[in-house]
Amino acid sequence: MRLAILWALLSVTAFAQVQSPGHTGALAAGTVLYSLTVNTAGSGSGTINNVANCATGTTTLAAGTTVTCSETPNSGSTFTGWSGNCSGTGSCSFSISGTSTVTATFASGTTVTAASCSASDVQAACNLLTNTTTVLQIPACTGGVSWTTNVTCDVPSGNTNLSVLGAGSLTIPGGNNQTVIKDDVANNNPIFEVTTGSSSTTYRMAGITFEGDSSLPDNNAKYNGMLSINGLSSNFRLDHVTLDQTTYNPATSNGNATLANMGDCIWGSVDHGIYKTHGTGNAVRELTGKCFGDSGGQGDQAWSHGPDFGTNEYLYLENNTFVADFWNGFINDLWLGGRMVVRFNNSTSGSLQVHATGSGNGSGRSGRAMEIYNNTFTGIFDSGSGNPSYNVDFITGGTALIFNNNAAPSGSAGWKNFLDLVNDHFNGATNYDLCGSSSQGFMYNGTTAINNLFLPDVRRSDYASVPSPWDGNTNTEGYPVLDQPGRGAGWLLSGSYPGGCVSGGTRCSYSNTAGTGSCVVQYPNQASEPIYLWGNTWSCPSGNCGVNVGLTDATSNLIGENRDFYRDTDNSGNLRTFTGNPSTGPGTGSGTLAARPSTCTQGVAYWATDQGSWNSSGSGGQGVLYVCGASGWPSTPTYTPYQYPHPLDH
């Protein structure tokens, strides 16, 4: 009898629990319930929209219930972000697994509107910005307004949230050319230059078209970008813009011209834009050498950190259209320890590239890391040179994850190479030996002459038998070479690299990542961080083709398969059957998690297509990567892509 009474009491209690506020109807006894509190905060005002189970106030929901919220700021306010169970400024969606809160913060502020699209009026509006300004509005000028002077528009001190908006559409890719600014500035400096402020600054530019004026000679094309963005913002967004360098008259022949240049340390999203380049110009160049507090600005700190794949500490290029009118045009240029993710874009003859350590001025480090996935690359055929589009990817340093890209869409003329892995550390055209001394400069690698992609080996005679102390030098080619493809985090290089041959000014390498102890010129003990490729399609119907992974200037002694890079195809791009053992199959594979081989050789990788929930777009699939360790497959994924669409894309 006592047991029956106790059971009756427990049943009533369970029923009472499921009848808590926020629920109607009876749920099964034993259902776990949690409270959800939804509210707003900040100096501004706005509304939280109940997309799914997101009613303002406190409600009670069953474990596993999906909550989806959106926001609408009131006039004069700006939405600055979610907190609680959501973060960032993108969509807010999660499953109830405990007591939960959702807070939308709105900031009050002022809007400054330029009197017109002219450079003088936009500069005047920029000069009126204060720490409470949230929007700088540039009006419509569909016919285009030519600028003959450069405009500087920095974020004021104390301002943590600023949007620069043209009249262009924020839903149509490229903005639909409503605010059109033409470059007629007779110098090579950016026509619009911005410094964003600190890492906590939220900065957005959208709805503007920048293009070359038809009256401007091509020798005034912008090496540092039509648009230049500097600063330390980790919440940067450039979206729904069009940048076009094909409209100069004649179209610029300056191969180093850039459309948008990112400097210092800019992380965030570049999305829904249209970028048109001419010749070998770059669409988006990332020279972010000041990340991780790097005062030297050469990328040394980035090279002492791991790649942090799948995090927000990258510049994301997604949902853009890139069009190059040349067989060797470029989407990007990555240098100075920069990190970039290129995903879900469409490119016509636009290649990806990583600049080498020591190139240019001889002091900067290579691009650090890239993720390249779910893009479509359409090649063209240049009848004059007889070449198809050259490389989809051209990597001279660092690590990368390259997967699920389509480089053989219908109508494509193909590509000469899908990936070219190049060690530029011996290139005679590159200033590795600025001071002609083994104690200054990065020098050339190894003692064995290797033919370069562009030039025969032109190593100076006094270096012919002197390997660089910066390299590992386990063989006559210097392997592993400083910052070469497939190498990563190492000891911190410190000190000042000389602009000339200044005694005692050489960077050196501490024997630890903390930058303490003895500091000498030495190989910085860089970790192996292989490049992984899988799920890519590639073709070259023109008949003038290279191999799938180029290795243009290297042998297996310098850039080796199943050591420095792993792939799932042969040299012709044919898919091979993954066995988990590179002696009997390829180095990478993909499929369901259940289909993964039970055993594996350390270093191989498997993409599990039925795992993960990072992609909320509804197309493009999911997946996570497992990299085999010394004890076999890890219990948790080695890599999961960052949330897509990017949280800043709301």
The model's pLDDT over 575-613, given as tens digits with 9 standing for 90+, comes to 999 999 999 999 999 999 999 999 999 999 999 999 999
- What pLDDT score does 243 carry? 97
- What pLDDT score does 280 carry? 87
pLDDT score of 156 more than 90: yes
pLDDT score of 497 more than 60: no
Q: Which residue has the tokens 């076999």?
A: 632
Give ∠ CA 323-324-327 in degrees, rounded to 5: 140
Q: Which residue has the higher pLDDT, 596 or 79?
A: 596
- What pLDDT score does 13 carry? 36
- What pLDDT score does 248 carry? 85
Residues 136 and 114: their CA atoms lie apart, in Å, by 7
- What pLDDT score does 444 carry? 60
pLDDT above 70 covers a percentage of the chain that reads 82
Residues 511 and 618: their CA atoms lie apart, in Å, by 48
pLDDT score of 28 more than 90: no
Residues 388 and 407: their CA atoms lie apart, in Å, by 12
The highest-confidence range among 60-74, 207-221, 229-243, 434-448, by mean pLDDT, is: 229-243
* Mode of pairing for the β-strands spanning 258-263 and 209-212: unpaired
DSSP H or E run through 268:
strand 268-271
- What pLDDT score does 20 carry? 41
Burial 294-315 (b: 16+ CB within 10 A, else e): bebbbbbbbbbbebebbebbbb
Give the least confident one: 190-199, 243-252, 636-645: 243-252
- What pLDDT score does 176 carry? 97
User: Is residue 403 classed as helix, strand or coil in its secondary structure?
Assistant: strand
* Mode of pairing for the β-strands spanning 493-494 and 399-403: unpaired
Furthest-apart CA atoms within the chain: distance in Å = 101
616-644 pLDDT, tens digit each: 999 999 999 999 999 999 999 999 999 99
Residues 101 and 154: their CA atoms lie apart, in Å, by 35
- What pLDDT score does 296 carry? 82
Decide if 567 contacts 587 (C-beta within 8 A). yes
Decide if 478 contacts 467 (C-beta within 8 A). yes
pLDDT grade for 191, boundaries at 50, 70 and 90: very high
pLDDT grade for 75, boundaries at 50, 70 and 90: confident
522-573 pLDDT, tens digit each: 888 999 999 999 999 988 765 556 556 666 544 567 888 999 999 999 877 8
- What pLDDT score does 462 carry? 37
Give the least confident one: 372-381, 418-427, 641-650: 418-427
Quick count: other Cβ atoms within 10 Å of Cβ 517? 10
Residues 289 and 366: their CA atoms lie apart, in Å, by 10
pLDDT score of 339 more than 70: yes
Question: pLDDT averaged over the chain?
Answer: 84
397-430 pLDDT, tens digit each: 999 999 999 999 998 888 888 898 887 764 433 3
3-state class percentages of the chain: helix first, strand second, coil last, to nearest 5: 5, 35, 60
Quick count: other Cβ atoms within 10 Å of Cβ 467? 21
User: pTM, whole model, 2 decimals?
Assistant: 0.85
Residue 133 phi/psi, 5-degree rounding, is -75, 130
214-227 pLDDT, tens digit each: 877 666 778 889 99
pLDDT above 90 covers a percentage of the chain that reads 59
pLDDT grade for 6, boundaries at 50, 70 and 90: very low
